[in-house]
Amino acid sequence: MRLTTLCYIEKDGKYLMLHRVKKQNDFNKDKWIGVGGKFEQNETPEECLLREVYEETGLTLHSYTFRGLITFISDKYETEYMHLYTADKFSGTIKECDEGILEWIDKKDVPALPLWEGDSLFLKMLDEYNGFFSMKLRYEGDKLAEHNVIKY
């Protein structure tokens, strides 16, 4: 199983999105996602979040919120438990990312981007629900076959 973080950094009604176009053999190839990545040995979710955001963007987060736990189940990939965050206070200068192109996208325009089906669902939850939630996304190949959510 994989443990990961994903963060949607917010500023002026926009999310900082990563268009995954640079990395070789990337199952997120050509998709738009937030920033984050895999846990390193003995890391907490928060340590992983802060490290990954800094590595991918050059930004240091000062205010972030743990919004949800997303369980990805797939017949193609190993099970992933993704710790989903939003952040609204940060410092630093955005740098070039070796995994793709970083761009501020108006929140209302994000659903029109090439996203995973499940990402559209949890992005909608981030927009419509202020509490913590758990979401299960089951994929068959690259197609979402099942999803459910529990709100806390």
3 state SS of 126? helix
pLDDT of 24 strictly over 90: no
Helix ranges (DSSP H) in the chain: 45-57, 117-128
How does DSSP classify residue 61? E
What backbone torsions phi and psi does residue 116 show, to the nearest 5 degrees? -65, 145
Q: HSE of 97 in the Cβ direction (CA atoms, 13 Å)?
A: 27
Q: How many residues does the chain have?
A: 152
pLDDT digits (tens, 9 = 90+) for 126-139: 999 999 999 999 99
pLDDT of 27 strictly over 80: no
- At 137, list the tokens: 């996304």
CB–CB of 115/141 below 8 Å? no
Which pLDDT belongs to residue 22?
A: 81
Q: Residue 96: give the domain boundaries.
A: 2-151
Burial 131-141 (b: 16+ CB within 10 A, else e): eebebebbbee
Which pLDDT belongs to residue 29?
A: 79
Q: What is the CATH number of the domain that holds 137?
A: 3.90.79.10
Instruction: Say how many domains are in the chain.
Output: 1
Q: Other CB atoms closer than 10 Å to residue 85's CB: what's the count?
A: 25
pLDDT digits (tens, 9 = 90+) for 28-74: 778 899 999 999 999 999 999 999 999 999 999 999 999 999 999 99
